[in-house]
Amino acid sequence: MEAIDRASLDQWYPIETEADVPYGRSTNRLLGTDLLVIRADDGTVTVLAEGQGLPLPLKRRYGYLWTTLGAPEKDIFAIAEADEPDRRYVPCGAVTVRASGLRIIENFLDMAHFPFVHTDILGSEPHTQVEEYNVEIRRDVDEVWATNCRFFQPQAALSATDGLMTRYIYRVMTPFTTLLYKTCPNSETRWDVICLFVQPLDPDRCRAHPVMYLLDDQSTTASLIQFQQLIFLQDRIILENQRPVLLPMEPRSEIPTRADASSIAYRRWLKEKGVTYGTSLQAA
């Protein structure tokens, strides 16, 4: 196994939804290491890493199987909304992207691309301005949060019937996992929750696992998945054409603007943690 920084190694990663693990033997990949996944007739799952004799640790959370190649100090992060019984749980499939997993997370935090990449859905001209918002590294939980985010969207969700000024809260739980709380068209007091769990296959290739916890009892599951996949596939076109493929970490390698406050905090947080996997520092 190639040298991997401890901050990336000592994390929990999703490798598959529980429902999609086939019986018998199948293969997977994580952080440049091939995995053998064995599902017995009784449903028991074992995951082995190439060149290692003992099974990897395995946890079940949010409908996924999570494993690690290292020794995480913390359990998998909590999402309170996942336990609310009236929410729709919508796993949206896995999408392979030829880009650094960190690039995927940073793109998820970026509101400025809405009008240009997700035209007439998450944004439109002339509503291109990103209003000032707050961002911080919350030391008590070791997460990055962006609050008071607002953006006008023609169709913020599948259930939305008109354009509205959508409110967002972004939360980055680990270097490769993030979620957002956004205005719910069906409730004035609660949020829809959209998660993005990234499985880094290699420094320049990953699988993205979008998951939603929604307050929507009208839309079909198929239409909800289709809507979210449309958004993500629009992003994939941009992500796979970004250069460099790895996340630049050198000072002044890219020129940030006020709209990039989340990205600036995220990269600072990664540097503090010593994350190099999927960054230009790893290639240096």
Nearest to 110 by CA among 275, 256, 277, 278: 256
The end-to-end CA distance of the chain, in Å, is 18
Are 122 and 235 spatial neighbours (Cβ–Cβ below 8 Å)? no
Cα(139)–Cα(136) distance, integer angstroms: 9
Instruction: State which residues of the chain have pLDDT below 50.
Output: 115-116, 118-120, 123-124, 156, 256, 258-259
Residues 162-220 have pLDDT tens digits of 666 788 899 999 999 999 998 887 888 899 999 999 999 999 999 999 999 999 888 88
pLDDT at residue 186, rounded to an integer: 81
Q: Tell me if 38 sits within 8 A of 45, measured CB to CB.
A: yes
Cα–Cα distance, 197 to 101 (Å, whole number): 10
> What are the structural domain ranges in the chain?
6-67, 80-283
The domain 6-67 is placed in CATH, from the list 2.20.25.680, 3.40.718.10, 3.30.230.10, 3.10.150.10, at 2.20.25.680
- pLDDT for the residue numbered 168: 87
CA distance 159 to 84: 20
Helices and strands of the chain, counted as H and E runs = 6, 14
**pTM given for the model:** 0.88
So what's the pLDDT on residue 223? 85
Q: What tens digit of pLDDT does each residue of 261-277 get?
A: 888 999 999 999 999 99
Pick the CATH number of 80-283 from 3.40.50.2300, 3.40.50.1970, 3.40.50.720, 3.90.380.10: 3.90.380.10
